[in-house]
């Protein structure tokens, strides 16, 4: 399986479309790279570009884009609403299909080194690519922004990972990192009341919400806000009240296994100065940001979510929690919407999730899994969801032989050419045998006498599907290998 990596560089230019086009032209000049999206913002004066491909071409395209941005963008003249400190402000690499986070860390560090050495731009590694915990958080790395960069570079604690510790007034600095795939995901409600969407979003998101008391059923936002007071420190998630923040933090650690000091710092609050400030109730999920809004085109309110690690917080789990919270309030979730693209792995996990809930076999073809995920999440509720366009890393069989009609393939084998020959025929026979094995396991799942072996049968069916796909690819691979041997011997 090919390794597919996504790169999402953010450039500090959102108004000069000609300059943006030159940067994207530099990206598309690399063979094997697919440009997915270009999203310029005038008020932020920033453009987010998304492209994918195998690791080597993606790395080269990223470097060329940074190089072109450094030529075209002058940070000394830049202004915009978004935090920034460089012409190419951030350049994250994301595993999509077949690639690991370690692969993306390797790419990020290699590209970062090239940027520093060849372009003379200070480079900071962040998130998974960071070499120290202090540099994992992008906000910390970018603190002070462009205006404070000269001072930052003079601080030995903020020596760049690559490039000179010298202020580059034109290009600024660049943060290069590796992170998980960010899924932008909206949940649709049968109402146009934004308050109701916020009500559920606040319950779901990691940030949580202000703790309230009194009239909180069914709508929590109608209750009275609870505040910290001198000698009174309530727990946001229970009726427990401590006499000090230290006592509350210990209770929080024991009950929830988390650090309350870090929790309030992440909210921008000083744990030593909370008297008179609202108490926060935890959200249901980590790695989740969310807010409610109304989309006039759809005539509905949406819970707008960003999932920053779908492997920890899957969209289908969030959706089912939203359905429960909505039902408690008399609201109906009518469906959901993927904004942009989504990795096949995420759809694969969602498909398996819904099949397992139905006690149906999970060992089915990749596109069937995607279809199941789309149906379970109602992804065609407000907009079209074309799995071929919206899902990246979707397994495919691109070989010319594998895509022939059966009669055409049989005729091709019969001709006076040595290939396709025995190897391709054996691969086809193996693929069909694996398909039959999967069929048997899938039929068995539906029979009552095998209910206690559901997980085992699913595992066998999945392995049969994997073998089927590998052997189908081998139909063409065998012929291609034979032809290469013949060519080498000439």
Residue 420 pLDDT class (50, 70, 90 cuts)? very high
Number of Cα atoms under 13 Å in the Cβ half of residue 291? 3
Give phi and psi for 53, each to the nearest 5: 165, -170
Alpha helices, H only, 301-386: 315-328, 344-358, 366-377
| pLDDT, tens digit, 9 for 90 and up, residues 298-321 | 999 999 999 999 999 999 999 999
> Is 25 assigned a catalytic role?
no
**Is the CB of residue 488 less than 8 Å from the CB of residue 444?**
no
Cα distances (Å, whole numbers) of residue 401 to 466, 467, 474, 477:
19, 18, 10, 10
**Percent of the chain's residues with pLDDT above 90:** 91
pLDDT of residue 427: 98
Structure tokens at 110: 């290699």
pLDDT of residue 341: 87
- Mapped onto helix, strand or coil, the DSSP state of residue 342 is strand
Phi-psi region of 188 (alpha: psi -120 to 50; beta: other; left: phi over 0): beta
Quote the DSSP letter at residue 452: G
Query: Which of the residue ranges 1-5, 58-62, 89-93, 187-191 would you say has the lowest mean pLDDT?
Result: 1-5
Which residue do the tokens 């032809």 mark? 483
pLDDT of residue 396: 86
From 69, 74, 55, 60, select the one nearest 24 (Cα to Cα). 69
Assess whether pLDDT exceeds 80 at residue 1. Answer: no
Average pLDDT of the residues in 343-355: 96
Q: Which entry of 282, 469, 476, 478 is annotated as an active-site residue? A: 478
Of residues 39 and 278, more confidence is placed in: 278
Q: Which entry of 82, 193, 287, 381 is annotated as an active-site residue? A: 82
**Is the CB of residue 282 less than 8 Å from the CB of residue 256?**
yes
Distance CA 292, CA 306 (A): 12
Assess whether pLDDT exceeds 90 at residue 52. Answer: yes
| pLDDT, tens digit, 9 for 90 and up, residues 378-398 | 999 998 899 988 998 888 888
- Mapped onto helix, strand or coil, the DSSP state of residue 424 is helix
Which residue do the tokens 């109304």 mark? 294
**Is the CB of residue 346 less than 8 Å from the CB of residue 264?**
no
> Is 128 assigned a catalytic role?
no
Q: In what order do the strands lie in the sheet with 288-295?
A: 288-295, 300-307, 183-189, 333-339
Quote the DSSP letter at residue 358: H
pTM: 0.85
């Amino acid at each position: 399986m090919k390794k597919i990596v996504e790169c999402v560089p953010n450039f500090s230019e959102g108004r000069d479309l000609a300059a943006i086009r030159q940067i994207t032209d530099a990206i598309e000049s690399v063979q094997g790279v697919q440009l997915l999206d270009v999203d310029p913002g005038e008020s932020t004066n920033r453009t987010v570009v998304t492209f994918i491909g195998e690791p080597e071409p993606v790395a080269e395209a990223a470097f060329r884009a940074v190089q072109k941005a450094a030529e075209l963008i002058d940070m000394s003249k830049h202004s915009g609403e978004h935090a920034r400190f460089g012409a190419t402000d951030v350049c994250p690499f994301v595993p999509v299909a077949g690639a690991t986070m370690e692969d993306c860390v390797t790419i990020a560090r290699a590209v970062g080194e090239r940027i520093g050495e060849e372009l003379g731009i200070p480079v900071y590694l962040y998130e998974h690519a960071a070499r120290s915990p202090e540099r994992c958080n992008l906000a910390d790395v970018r603190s002070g922004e462009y205006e404070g960069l000269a001072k930052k570079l003079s601080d030995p604690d903020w020596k760049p990972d690559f490039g000179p510790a010298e202020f580059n007034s034109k290009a600024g600095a660049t943060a290069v990192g590796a992170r998980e795939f960010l899924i932008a995901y909206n949940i649709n409600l049968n109402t146009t009341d934004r308050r109701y969407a916020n009500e559920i979003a606040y319950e779901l998101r990691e940030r949580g919400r202000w703790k309230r008391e009194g009239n909180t059923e069914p709508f929590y936002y109608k209750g009275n806000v609870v505040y910290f007071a001198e000698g009174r420190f309530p727990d946001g998630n229970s009726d427990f009240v401590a006499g000090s923040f230290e006592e509350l933090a210990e209770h929080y650690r024991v009950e929830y296994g988390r650090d309350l000091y870090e929790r309030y710092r992440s909210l921008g609050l000083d744990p030593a100065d909370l008297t008179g400030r609202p108490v926060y109730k935890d959200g249901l999920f980590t790695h989740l940001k969310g807010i409610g809004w109304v989309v006039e085109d759809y005539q509905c309110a949406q819970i707008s979510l960003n999932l920053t690690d779908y492997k920890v917080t899957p969209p289908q789990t969030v959706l089912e929690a939203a359905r429960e919270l909505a039902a408690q309030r008399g609201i109906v979730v009518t469906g959901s919407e993927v904004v942009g693209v989504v990795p096949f792995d995420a759809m694969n996990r969602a498909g398996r999730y819904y099949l397992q809930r139905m006690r149906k076999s999970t060992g089915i073809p990749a596109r069937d899994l995607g279809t199941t995920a789309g149906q379970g999440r109602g992804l065609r509720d407000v907009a079209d969801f074309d799995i071929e366009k919206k899902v990246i890393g979707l397994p495919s069989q691109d070989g010319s032989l594998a895509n022939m009609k059966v009669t055409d393939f049989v005729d091709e084998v019969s001709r006076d050419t040595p290939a396709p020959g025995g190897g391709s025929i054996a691969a086809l026979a193996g693929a069909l045998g694996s398909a039959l094995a999967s069929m048997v396991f899938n039929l068995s799942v539906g029979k009552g006498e095998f209910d206690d072996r559901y997980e085992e049968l699913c595992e066998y069916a999945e392995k049969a599907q994997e073998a089927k796909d590998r052997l189908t690819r081998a139909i063409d691979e065998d012929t291609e290998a034979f032809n290469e041997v013949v060519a080498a011997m000439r």
